[in-house]
Amino acid sequence: MINFEFLLSFLAASFLIAVAPGPSNAFLMAQTFANGRAAGLQSAFGFALGGVAHTLFAVVGLTAILKASEVAYTSVQYAGAAYLCYLGVMMVKSTFIQSECSSEDKPHVSTKKKTNVIFQAMMTEVLNPKVALFFIAFIPQFVDPTLSSSTTFQLAFFGLLYPLFAFPIDCTYIYFGDKIAGYFREHPQSQIWIDRITGVVFVVLAVNLLI
């Protein structure tokens, strides 16, 4: 069983957190602007998978290691920042290759490799220690120790509920982001600049992860 009042409080708090602009939403919008609605949806799904992974980590106590060990926290933090920075640099680099092809009046052929956006988003979420600490600090507040159901069950329930609850909110961001991006995609050079801005956003997110 789950405490109904705690459940309503959790949903209200989760809504505010999911709606508030943040690194995850910036990543979603960047992918949507650069690669379309499908990439945005894949990113949202990847973040949901990342949330499931963090739930499992929290339940088995692995995130407690990040909270207790400064070395472990810093290692994961730098790994996540390096991964985001790599994505951003590679995206910006690909736009210059596209520009060279266009300047030579060759038929436009996208030089960007087909990447697994779901995996990128999931790894971005998993390698963010701030998200891990969010799960270990936020979710336990809604666990009722007086209930017959175990603490482990309640942690798993709320942990898995959050990504399910946040997914449709992410989809709303993606829908309106794709509408705005549609205007820019109609112009020949817009995609290159969208990709460059997206790459810069990824690098900024990497810096934000270290702050």
Report d(CA 31, CA 25) in Å as an integer: 10
Q: Would you list the DSSP string of 26-61?
A: HHHHHHHHHH-HHHHHHHHHHHHHHHHHHHHHHHHT
Tokens 């992974």 belong to 53
Tokens 């959050």 belong to 162
Reported pTM: 0.70
Angle among Cα 57, 135, 178 to the nearest 5 degrees reads 105
Both tokens of residue 189?
């050079």
Report the run of H or E that residue 118 belongs to, with start and end: helix 117-126
Going residue by residue through the chain (211 aa), what tens digit of pLDDT does each one get?
788 888 998 898 888 778 876 778 888 888 888 888 899 999 999 999 998 998 888 887 766 776 777 787 688 778 878 877 887 888 788 767 655 544 444 333 333 444 588 998 898 888 887 788 777 777 878 888 788 778 788 888 998 999 999 999 999 989 888 887 776 666 656 667 667 777 787 788 778 767 7
